Amino acid sequence: AQKVTQAQTEISVVEKEDVTLDCVYETRDTTYYLFWYKQPPSGELVFLIRRNSFDEQNEISGRYSWNFQKSTSSFNFTITASQVVDSAVYFCALSFSQGGSEKLVFGKGTKLTVNP
């Protein structure tokens, strides 16, 4: 079964704190893709990152960084020096490379609140 688990339902931090959002996935496929999306209150899902299963290099983009570990089936997301504008719901998602739709399977999301 293909599944994404985001165990943290809600996280609240104070501005400038670092915060890590956890994502654990399950799949039997050897080739798959992992994503993070941000959903601000406006509702539109905003793409943040895409990573394929063969690329375990960690990635940094400004204040955002991602840690992909196949050994633990995790793809965690860290925001450094959080800001109020980072407040949103963050979704981790998985898609498979079996042809067909390549649809996304989402976790339930983690609601991040950054307080001033």
Partner 1 sequence: DTGVSQDPRHKITKRGQNVTFRCDPISEHNRLYWYRQTLGQGPEFLTYFQNEAQLEKSRLLSDRFSAERPKGSFSTLEIQRTEQGDSAMYLCASSPRTEKNTEAFFGQGTRLTVV
Ranges within 96-115 binding partner 1 (CB under 8 A): 96-97, 100-109
Q: What angle do CA 79, 85, 88 make, to 5 degrees?
A: 75
* Nearest residue to 76 via CA among 66, 84, 85, 86: 66
Is 63 near partner 1 (CB under 8 A)? no
**Any contact of residue 68 with partner 1 (CB under 8 A)?**
no
Q: Does 47 bind partner 1 (CB under 8 A)?
A: yes
Cβ–Cβ < 8 Å for 23, 92: yes
Q: Which residues bind partner 1 (CB under 8 A)?
A: 4, 33, 35, 37, 42-47, 50, 52, 91, 93, 95-97, 100-109
